[in-house]
Every structure is written in structure tokens, then in C-alpha cells.
Amino acid sequence: MPENPDDDPFHDCELGPDAVLGTRTFHDVLFTDDTETPMNVVTGETPAHSQATVKEAKEFAASVDTDTPQIALPASVETQIETQSKPYTSAAFFHFKATGSLERHRAYHAAYEADAFAVDFEADYASGDLTITVDRANES
């Protein structure tokens, strides 16, 4: 453990690097062609604002101006109805909605920002699975 907390990328995290080292797959967390969309009960059709393809969602996520790679996550049906938004949203690949907890989100973020770790991810929009791999930089 570094003597100076500023040298420890995990000093503000509840989880240490051992919690994120290796490869982990998060199932059914990405926007897919099967993401639930609202239906107009009168017409039986999905509103135009909720019609989208995986290609559109991926392009949207890639277009977000940030240094952190983005993924397309499904938007809740409630959000789609209330805001008349698309059925997807963009978020950092380690977002808590994908990784399942704020603690894991912070640990992946710390690893991603630290030179001591190599972080890679694969977004499989066909299955909805996100796979994140973290290695120590000198091991990758």
C-alpha cells in the first residue's frame, strides 16, 4: 500500500484492486434489440421515440464527447414515457448500472484512471453482456 494516499488510486474506494482484477462478465446489462419499450395501449404500437436499433445506440454512445469509453444502456420504460426519450442512454463502461454497484463502479474507475492497471472491456450488444478485464499493467 502506498504511503501517500494520493499515490493509491483506490484510496477513496470501498473495494480494493483485488475486487476488480481479472475478467468479469455482467449479463443482460446493455441495450439490445430486445430492450423493453412502451406500447401505446390504444394503437398497440411502440411510439416513434422509443423505436431504435443497436446500431443507433452504439453510434450514440460513441458520439459522447468524453475521454472515457461509453456503452449504451437500456433506459427504463418509465423514463422513455416521461421524457419521450430513446430506449437507451450512454454511460461510462464501468457505470454502476452495468457493474451492479456503486462500490464496483468506483473500483473500476480507479483502475481505469491508474497507470498501474490495464483495463479493457467488450460490449456484446447481441447478448446484452459486458465483459471487463483488469490486469496489473506490468502483467498485460
Span 77-116, pLDDT tens digits: 998 889 888 999 999 999 999 999 999 999 999 999 999 9
- pTM for this model (two decimals): 0.87
Task: Give helix then strand counts, H and E, for the chain.
Answer: 4, 5
- Binned at pLDDT 50, 70 and 90, residue 4 comes out as low
Interatomic CA distance for residues 17 and 117, integer angstroms? 9
Matching residue, cell 443507433: 56
- Binned at pLDDT 50, 70 and 90, residue 49 comes out as confident
110 CB contacts (<8 Å, ≥6 apart)? 9, 10, 12, 13, 17
Interatomic CA distance for residues 81 and 39, integer angstroms? 10
| Rounded-to-5 percentages of helix, strand, coil across the chain | 30, 20, 50
Domain ranges of the chain: 5-136
Q: What percent of the chain has pLDDT over 70?
A: 94
- Binned at pLDDT 50, 70 and 90, residue 46 comes out as confident
Q: Is 110 exposed, middle or buried (0-12, 13-18, 19+ CB in 10 A)?
A: buried
